[in-house]
A and B are shown apart, each in its own frame.
Chain A
Amino acid sequence: MDEVRNLLALYRRLIEARLRAQLQYRTSFALEISGTVLISFIDFVAILVIFANVQQLAQWTLPEVALLYAISGLAFAFTDLAIGHLDDFPGLIRDGNFDLLLIRPRGTLFQLLTADFQVRRLGKVLGALAVLAYALANLSIDWDLGRVAMLVVIVPVGVVIFASIWVTTICIAFWSVGAREASNAFTYGGQFLSQFPINVYDQWLRRFLAYIFPIAFVAYFPALFILGKPDPIGLPDWLRFASPLVAVAAAIVASAVWRFGVRHYQSAGG
């Protein structure tokens, strides 16, 4: 318990230092935040354009898709805020700087996750919140305790799922220099996938991207529950509550893969 408290205190101090550094240049910080808000809207513009042409997409209406978009957007935004800099990890391996982390008295993953904290990524949170407001204003949801609880719980659960995928796929860096690009297919790709109802994808694509990489559990199944909507592909109802368990499983896999990678790490020498 003491160890956890110690790590949390350390985490806070390190993040505060990053914050102070980034707030030094106010104008450019403001520009970057507003740019990031806009970036988070790019895919939503595509959704709006799609629904300017059709009433429904694979039996989903615009406000329903907006709910998917908002849930996945919030989960991804917080993930990106906390660990998006894992994308720089392959560079660390390539330059041999990972050795430095190995000789310090804290876990390697902990050191990596605290290495950066890009506050401008809060812009994505703002973008997702705006879409959530739009979705909730245009849906007539029969709110009860279960639905409210689902909406509150699903964001941190989604963060754990996205973060696990990020850690797992970036481990490719222990073996190949193309890790960053390959990992992007599943991290940014995962976000893209979860913005849309998974029944637009072919079955084989769903199996690979929605269940093996458990991206369908970020937004699709929880949104079905919140909306009280029958699953267009007729999957069992209990899947709507499986997300927290899936997140735990994903985290276990990620931490195992990470340890396996570190054990097989061979320094660049020097």
Chain B
Amino acid sequence: MLASLRTDLEIARRGYLRYAAYPAATAAGAFTNIIFGLMRGSVLLALFAERERIGAYDAAATIAYVWLTQGLLNVVALWGWQELALRVRTGDIATDLIRPIHPMRTALATDYGRAAYQLIFRGIPPVAVGVLAFHAVLPADPLVWLAFVASLGLAVAVSFGFRLLYNLAAFWTTDTRGTMILALVVMSVFSGFVIPIQFFPPWLAAIANATPFPAMVQTPVDIFVGVTRGPAILVALAGQLGWAAGMLLKSYWVFALGTRRLVVQGG
């Protein structure tokens, strides 16, 4: 058990190091996240010139929302990930299948390493700008921080499960770009990244909340900005846990189906 965990940690460390190889690109990316934060913040704050609050969001919560979502964008890989699809297309997946560790487990551990890197270097800079320049309020209660970290960990798992699903389409179609683009559109709107789900008209919010997408962004953000509080946090975490388990099991099952029909040419 312990040895197995050590393997996962080592794989995660490699995932982290892979992203750490390009510090200049990371710095430039964080700069871009900040510029978008400035613009999104201005637009959403203009709403509060017209009314006091929208759903449970007031101006202060919205400021925190903007800077936190700018920080989390890369952590939950909202702009897509097609590594596994490419490995299926090139046939490299055959090598992965020979290895003593399930490819999904390797990919998940790598993804946690990636997420940790993105959290530190792409996540903290926008939030720091939000706090220093726009008085975004950080949670004061250590328990809220704890819940936020747990929620973020689950958000990465839900996002990973979903990304895996659209990657696995590669077992059935040769080109997955189209599928991925469609997946990204749905993910960025319904996760609450583009605009908080509480701003949606009720019917649209109901649709969003019936999908796993809010569990990728909106749930941890609501905990952080204090819109979800008290016992409701436990309910939110339980919901995320359900989605994470569901998405991972589903992709595990699809993966098994896919490998059964996989034919790798040559060798």
Contact = CB atoms under 8 A, between A and B. Distances in A.
Contact of B29 (A30, A38, A181): A181
A229 B201 CA distance: 30
Interface residues of A, number: 44
Nearest to B200: A49
A23 interface: no
B121 interface: no
B62 to A, nearest CB: 12
A56 B47 CA distance: 8
B182 A35 contact: yes
A49 B178 contact: no
Contacts of B200: 49, 52
A141 to B, nearest CB: 24
A203 B29 CA distance: 24
Q: Which of A36, A52, A185, A209 has the most CB atoms of chain B within a 10 A radius of its CB?
A: A185
B38 interface: yes
Interface stretch (B98-106, B144-152, B187-195, B219-227): B187-195
Contact of A42 (B29, B35, B40, B189): B189
B50 A179 contact: no
Contact of A35 (B44, B54, B181, B189): B181
Interface string A176-193: 111111101110010011
A55 B47 CA distance: 10
Interface stretch (B10-18, B19-27, B83-91): B19-27
A73 to B, nearest CB: 15
Nearest to B49: A58
A53 B22 contact: no
B184 A39 contact: yes
A220 B42 CA distance: 16
B50 A56 contact: yes
A32 B177 contact: yes
Contacts of B32: 181-182, 184-185, 189
Contacts of B45: 200
A25 B195 CA distance: 35
Instruction: Find the residue from B47, B181, B182, B199 having the highest chain A CB count within 10 A.
Output: B181
A57 interface: yes
B1 interface: no
B38 A182 contact: no
Interface in A187-209: 189, 192-193, 196, 200-202, 205, 209
B199 A31 contact: no
B contact residues, range: 35 or more
Contacts of A100: none
A127 to B, nearest CB: 11
A201 B28 CA distance: 23
A193 B42 CA distance: 10
A49 B181 contact: no
Nearest to A53: B54
B143 interface: no
Contact of B185 (A35, A52, A200, A209): A35
Nearest to B28: A178
Interface string A108-137: 000000000000000000000000000000
A196 B43 contact: yes
Contacts of A52: 199-201
Nearest to B36: A189
Q: Which of A34, A43, A50, A192 has the most CB of B within 10 A?
A: A50
B28 A181 contact: yes
B41 to A, nearest CB: 9
A54 interface: yes
B260 interface: no
Contacts of B35: 185-186, 189, 209
B36 A178 contact: no
Contact of A201 (B42, B44, B178): B42
A255 interface: no
B235 interface: no
A45 interface: yes
Contacts of A193: 39
B179 interface: yes
Interface in B162-186: 173-175, 177-179, 181-182, 184-185
Contacts of A103: none
A181 B188 contact: no
13 contacts: A28-B174, A39-B181, A49-B195, A54-B47, A57-B43, A57-B46, A178-B24, A179-B28, A182-B32, A189-B36, A192-B36, A192-B39, A200-B42
Interface of B: 22, 24-29, 31-32, 35-36, 38-40, 42-47, 49-51, 54, 173-175, 177-179, 181-182, 184-185, 188-189, 194-195, 199-201, 204
Interface of A: 25, 27-28, 30-32, 34-36, 38-39, 41-43, 45-46, 49-50, 52-58, 176-182, 184-186, 189, 192-193, 196, 200-202, 205, 209
